Structure 1
Amino acid sequence: MTSATPAPAKRIAHRSAGALAFLLIASFWLSTVVSELFGSHATVAAVKQTILYAMIVLIPALAVTGATGFSLAGGRGGGRVDAKRRRMPFIAANGILILVPSAVFLAMKAQAGSFDTSFYAVQAVELVAGAVNLTLIGRNIADGLAMTGRLRRRRPA
């Protein structure tokens, strides 16, 4: 194996961790919206607590995705690689500065039964930040698939 060919295990780890992170964030977002629209306060509290516990899986998945992505890219640069690199600090900062603290705050408020203005304000911020991360991670996935030839862009007619 040459140094230009990444180890299959590293590629599998990158793809698996990235897909897991994306699916977890999507499930957090969707379960939040559904529980808020159709569930009781007890359901919302259960969803918030589950999201908080699932961070134990999400945070390492994001770390593995980032680390293996940087390793797979090596010294390469160019359009899609550079775009993915530029998105990663925003994804990480959004998660560390907004999503994780929001999850902790919302779980604590929900467990206390305190569904007040601050709960819903933070909930709104969390939903927007989650949608931003889903969009950015989705673009990284699309760029990764395009780089490997698994996703082909349609040409305009």
Structure 2
Amino acid sequence: MIRLIHPVAGALPVATIGTFWLSTVLSELFASHATVAAVKGTIPWGFLLLIPALATTGGIGISMAKGRRAGLIGTKFKRMPFIAGNDILILIPSALFLASKAQAAEFDVTFYAVQVLELVAGATNITLLALNMRDGLKMRGRLRRTPV
């Protein structure tokens, strides 16, 4: 059962952050400030899915690793502090700040500066999570390992 829950829980953060990122970009480029405010106000609610999914994935991953830290497992473990730190220190505070500014219709220089920071941090997390997924698929034999 754990081997089924781990990949599902691992895919949820990629899908969630990807949805946040894409909806932000599309609303900023093509929609009104009211739509941007709606998107920014909705994103913090997604934390109710994102945070438990990340915790579940990490907890099960640690359990499945059984103390091993070599090879692809070690590589995945090295990425996790960056993913967690990025979420806790940049993405969550930025999302809350932007939701507050958007609800107050304050689309100023500070809003857009934090928006750029959030988009860069989000793209970084999507990349790191996707790399962890790729390595997990390699470990399970679902992707071929490339020769070194």
Measured against the shorter chain, the TM-score band is over 0.9
Tell me the CA shift for residue 83 of structure 1: 0.4
Q: Which residue of 2 aligns with 1:71?
A: 63
Tell me by how many angstroms 1:77 deviates.
2.6
Structure 2, unaligned stretches of length 5 or more?
none
Task: Quote the residue 2:19 is aligned against.
Answer: 27
State the one-letter code of the partner of 1:108.
S
Aligned to 1:4: none
1:43 aligns with 35
The residue number in structure 2 matching 1:52 is: 44
Q: How many pairs were matched up? A: 148
Return the offset for 1:29.
0.5
Superposed displacement of residue 94, structure 1: 0.3
Percent sequence identity over aligned pairs: 61
Candidates 126, 137, 140, aligned match of 1:148: 140
Give the drift of 1:153: 3.7
Structure 2 Cα separation of the partners of residues 42 and 74 of structure 1: 49
CA distance in 2, matches of 1:115, 1:77: 46
| Cα offset, 1:76, TM superposition | 1.8
Give the C-alpha shift of residue 155 in structure 1: 6.0
Bigger-Rg structure (1/2): 1
Amino acid corresponding to residue 18 of structure 1 in structure 2: G
User: Stretches of 4+ moved more than 3 A in 1?
Assistant: 153-156
Deviations 1:16-74 (A, max 9, x none): 11101110010100000000000100100111111111111111111101111111111
Structure 1 gap ranges (5+) = 1-8
Please state if 1:92 is matched with 2:84. yes
RMSD between aligned residues: 1.2
Q: 1:13, CA displacement in angstroms?
A: 1.4
The answer as to whether partners of 2:69 and 2:77 remain within 8 angstroms in 1 is no
Aligned to 2:108: 116
Which residue in the other structure is 2:126 paired with?
Answer: 134
CA distance in 2, matches of 1:135, 1:96: 17
| Distance in 1 of aligned mates of 2:4 and 2:97 | 34
Which TM-score applies when normalising by structure 2?
0.97
